A and B are shown apart, each in its own frame.
Chain A
Amino acid sequence: SQKIEQNSEALNIQEGKTATLTCNYTNYSPAYLQWYRQDPGRGPVFLLLIRENEKEKRKERLKVTFDTTLKQSLFHITASQPADSATYLCALEAGGGADGLTFGKGTHLIIQP
């Protein structure tokens, strides 16, 4: 069966360091992979999208890599700040625009001052 795995345990990072989150998937050939931020009691907020033919995408302090051979995406936050503390969700879509997303459980990131 299709599966998306994220390290659901809390990840503690010291402020100013780079936080790296991992998303692995199996039995899936996604056309896109998306990363979202979710704060407690709120809906997900879109951060970055990377296509299957792209290796890397950047947006300000965020960077996403996508390795379709390893079936893995890495999400980096550089110069992390306490305000970056949240749950980060990886989501896959098969493509075509007609499908909803399949989400991982998310990784809870804590940036310590």
Chain B
Amino acid sequence: GAVVSQHPSWVICKSGTSVKIECRSLDFQATTMFWYRQFPKQSLMLMATSNEGSKATYEQGVEKDKFLINHASLTLSTLTVTSAHPEDSSFYICSPRGGKVEQFFGPGTRLTVL
């Protein structure tokens, strides 16, 4: 399977601050990057989709100005949670996609906003 890394694996921040999460595909080039979040005991929910070099498209209900996505290269994408609030506390998971039909996921980042 594909090797995907995320950094950090967990982060605690104060309300109002911004947090950046990195996602790297280590052994393949990701033309598309999906970002998901998962609340406790809930399913993964797609937040946004980005293609390398293009602006991200966001799912309904996800604020594009709050969740900034940068997909500047085929191996790196970042998600920045701006002005984080406690309700943004969640498990954020990236899924880079190359040429395969199967989708692979990063190990996730646990965000806790105090």
Contact = CB atoms under 8 A, between A and B. Distances in A.
Interface string B70-114: 000000000000000000000101010100011111111010000
B43 A89 contact: yes
Interface residues of B, number: 26
A41 B36 CA distance: 14
A100 interface: yes
Interface residues of A, number: 25
A61 interface: no
Contact of B103 (A4, A34, A42, A106): A34
Contacts of A101: 34, 44, 46, 95, 103
Contacts, number: 61
Contacts of A89: 43-44
B43 to A, nearest CB: 4
Q: What 3 A-B pairs have minimum CB-CB distances, sorted nearest first?
A: A100-B46, A43-B105, A103-B43
14 contacts: A8-B41, A32-B101, A34-B102, A41-B110, A42-B107, A43-B4, A43-B108, A46-B1, A46-B102, A100-B46, A100-B95, A101-B34, A101-B103, A102-B46
